[in-house]
């Protein structure tokens, strides 16, 4: 990497960090994270391929078997994994940008949908040339992975990541709470009206110390799945052209081939859409009638204890919740999962994640070999031995993975894509951090008052989103 490249990178990434995340956040992160601002980044100072993931030292250690298997295939490539603890993906990306601004970026980063376009726009190297070159090796991977997951990592016609794991916002329900209310498993095509009726039945059966519907205020699993089900979103969704090389090369015979594009675009706010109002008004009614809580910030993992103690009837979550419920003491039949209720459509939302090669990677060929190996079934089985997430490979979402842990209808997880191929990623443009802040700032206000307050909150959201989308990523 030349000095000129380094200087250009620092110029870009400081703009990126300040624009996408705010100077205050960066300053606070640097102050609280001195060990990642210097030369003690694993892989720096030697020729190792440095890989950054979000997690703990235990998460890094869990990848050791995969690293060992990779090393047997490529003894010439040394790999070091750096686990970075973060509150959420936004916090993780802030720390990666700090490393970049300090001139010590990792070579490869595990990036979720929330940051995919931020990285594609400024930081990541496209995979197109590698996928084309190794098409014969990669065909088996694409045959096993739904194209919706791949399309989520297309940006302006190029592919930047391969999906490793993903999760949709499915509806978990507590079978004990359902039984106490005399409810049976809902139909696959249940509606938002059916859902409300079931919440009312659970409320009638348990009038205290119980929440029929618990949801969080964030991009994944908050208001977005309700908006998608009502055939709208808080951002206008369009598609880029391009990508034919990928779709015709690997998905030419897929039934959903005509749906595929060069990647998603979210260029304009849409909070003033009538169906956005209708969706928020529905949620406002649940809160007003005591059927749902005001949405709380935070991840779904914080709800595991409440759900496992039978104090929550329903909540949206992905396959990542299964292992946590098992460890919290829930039996395989104590909970189950169903598709999110339909409204005008039954389009669902998902988030996915995979490795991105940084533009500044010391050895991009070595980085690609890591990504290619990580996409193999052998590697994925080593990394995902338990249902801590939903593997991107369809063949791995099987009875063995959920044996003894549930849910009974685990097929719902991958069927969310196979049966509903228009299911799409959460809206995450390059300005995702500012966009998510604008969303979260106004959601609680929108569902906590009268109709006038709801209209004011959506007007505020529209203005905040307009400002967020003007920012440089």
User: What does the pLDDT look like over 418-469, one tens digit per residue?
Assistant: 999 999 999 999 999 999 999 999 999 999 999 999 999 999 999 999 999 9
The Cα–Cα gap between 401 and 392 comes to 13
Strand pairing class (349-358; 424-425): parallel
Q: Is the pLDDT of residue 4 over 80?
A: no
Smallest CA-to-CA distance from 10 within 116, 105, 110 is with 105
Q: Facing residues of 159 across strands?
A: 154
7 pLDDT band (50/70/90 cuts)? very low
pLDDT for res 471: 73
Q: How far apart are CA 229 and CA 225, in angstroms?
A: 6
CA atoms lying within 13 Å on the CB side of residue 341: 20
- What does the pLDDT look like over 106-138, one tens digit per residue? 999 999 999 999 999 999 999 999 999 999 999
Give the pLDDT confidence of 78-93 residue by residue, as tens digits: 999 999 999 889 899 9
Q: What is the pLDDT of residue 303?
A: 85
Q: Which two tokens stand for residue 100?
A: 């970049």
Q: Where does the pLDDT of residue 21 fall: very low under 50, low under 70, confident under 90, or very high at 90 and above?
A: very low
| Cβ count near 129 (within 10 Å) | 12
Q: Summarize pLDDT for 255-299 with one digit per residue, the tens.
A: 999 999 999 999 999 999 999 999 999 999 999 999 999 997 655
Distance CA 286, CA 415 (A): 28
Q: What is the mean pLDDT of residues 349-377?
A: 98
d(C-alpha 213, C-alpha 202), whole Å: 10
CA atoms within 13 A on the CB side of 23: 1
On whether the CB atoms of residues 355 and 79 are closer than 8 A, the answer is no
CA distance 444 to 354: 31
| pLDDT for position 44 | 52
Alpha-carbon gap, residue 395 to 255, rounded angstroms: 19
Helix axes 3-21, 89-101, angle to 10 degrees: 150
Q: What is the pTM of this model?
A: 0.90
* % residues pLDDT > 70 (the chain): 89
DSSP 172-207: EEEHHHHHHTT--PPPTT-BHHHHHHHHHHHHHH--
| pLDDT digit string, tens, across residues 56-73 | 999 999 899 999 999 999
pLDDT of residue 222: 95
> What pLDDT, on the 0 to 100 scale, is given for residue 472?
61
Give the CA count within 13 Å in the CB-facing half-sphere of 160: 31
Query: 336 by DSSP, 3-state: which?
Result: strand
β-bridge mates for residue 336, sequence order: 173
**Residue 30 has which token pair?**
């640097």
Q: Other C-beta atoms within 10 Å of 1: how many?
A: 12
Q: Which residues contact 169 (CB under 8 A, 6 or more apart)?
A: 220, 221, 224, 225, 316, 317, 318, 340, 348, 349, 350
Reference 35, options 76, 95, 94; nearest CA is: 95
Does the bond joining 268 to the residue before it have cis omega, within 30 degrees of 0? no
Q: Are 351 and 220 in contact (CB under 8 A)?
A: yes
d(CA 444, CA 292): 12
Q: Per-residue pLDDT tens for 292-351? A: 999 976 555 668 999 999 999 999 999 999 999 999 999 999 999 999 999 999 999 999
Which tokens belong to 73?
A: 């295939």
pLDDT of residue 17: 42
Tokens of 403: 């044996």
Sorted by sequence, the CB contacts under 8 Å of residue 133 that are 6+ apart come out as: none
pLDDT at position 15: 41
What interhelical angle do 432-446 and 89-101 show, nearest 10? 150
- Rounded Cα distance between 18 and 466, Å, is 18
- C-alpha pair distances (Å), 249 with each of 15, 138, 266, 469: 37, 11, 27, 34
> Which pair of structure tokens corresponds to residue 62?
């869990």
3-state SS class at 442: helix
User: In the predicted model, is pLDDT for residue 34 greater than 80?
Assistant: no
């Amino acid at each position: 990497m030349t000095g000129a490249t380094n200087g250009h990178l620092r110029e870009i990434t400081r703009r990126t960090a300040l624009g996408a995340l705010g100077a205050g956040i960066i300053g606070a992160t640097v102050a609280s994270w001195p060990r990642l601002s210097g030369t003690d980044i694993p892989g720096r100072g030697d020729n190792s391929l440095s890989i950054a993931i979000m997690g703990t030292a235990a998460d890094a250690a869990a990848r050791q078997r995969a690293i060992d298997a990779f090393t047997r295939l490529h003894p010439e490539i040394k790999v070091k994994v750096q686990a970075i603890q973060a509150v959420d993906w936004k916090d993780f990306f802030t720390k990666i940008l700090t490393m970049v601004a300090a001139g010590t970026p990792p070579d490869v980063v595990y990036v979720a949908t929330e940051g995919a376009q931020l990285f594609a726009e400024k930081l990541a190297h496209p995979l197109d040339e590698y996928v084309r070159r190794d098409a014969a090796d990669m065909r088996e991977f694409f045959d096993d992975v739904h194209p919706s997951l791949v399309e989520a990592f297309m940006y302006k016609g190029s592919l930047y990541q391969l999906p490793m794991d993903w999760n949709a916002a499915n509806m978990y329900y507590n079978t004990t709470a359902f039984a106490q209310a005399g409810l049976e498993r809902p139909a696959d095509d249940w509606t938002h009206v059916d859902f409300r009726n079931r919440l009312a039945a659970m409320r009638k059966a348990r009038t205290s110390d119980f929440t029929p519907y618990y949801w969080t205020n964030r991009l994944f699993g908050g208001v977005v799945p309700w908006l998608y089900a009502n055939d709208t979103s808080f951002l206008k969704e369009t598609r880029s052209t391009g990508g034919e090389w990928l779709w015709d090369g690997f998905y030419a015979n897929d039934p959903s081939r005509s749906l595929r594009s060069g990647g998603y675009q979210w260029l304009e706010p849409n909070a003033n859409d009538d169906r956005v109002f209708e969706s928020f008004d529905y949620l406002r009614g649940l809160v007003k009638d005591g059927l749902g809580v005001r949405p709380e910030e935070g991840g779904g993992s914080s709800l595991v204890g409440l759900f496992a103690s039978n104090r929550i009837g329903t909540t949206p979550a992905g396959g990542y919740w299964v292992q946590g419920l098992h460890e919290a003491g829930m039996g395989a039949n104590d909970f189950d999962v169903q598709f999110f209720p339909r409204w005008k459509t039954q389009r669902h939302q998902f988030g996915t994640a995979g490795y991105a090669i940084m533009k500044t990677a010391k050895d991009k060929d070595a980085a690609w070999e890591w990504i290619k190996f990580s996409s193999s079934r052998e590697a994925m089985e080593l990394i995902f031995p338990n249902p801590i997430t939903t593997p991107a490979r369809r063949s791995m979402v099987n009875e063995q993975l959920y044996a003894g842990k549930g849910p009974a209808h685990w097929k719902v997880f991958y069927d969310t894509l196979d049966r509903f191929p228009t299911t799409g990623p959460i809206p995450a443009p390059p300005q995702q951090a500012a966009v998510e802040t604008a969303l979260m700032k106004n959601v609680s206000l929108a569902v906590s008052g009268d109709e006038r307050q709801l209209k004011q909150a959506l007007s505020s959201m529209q203005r905040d989103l307009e400002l967020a989308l003007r920012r440089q990523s």
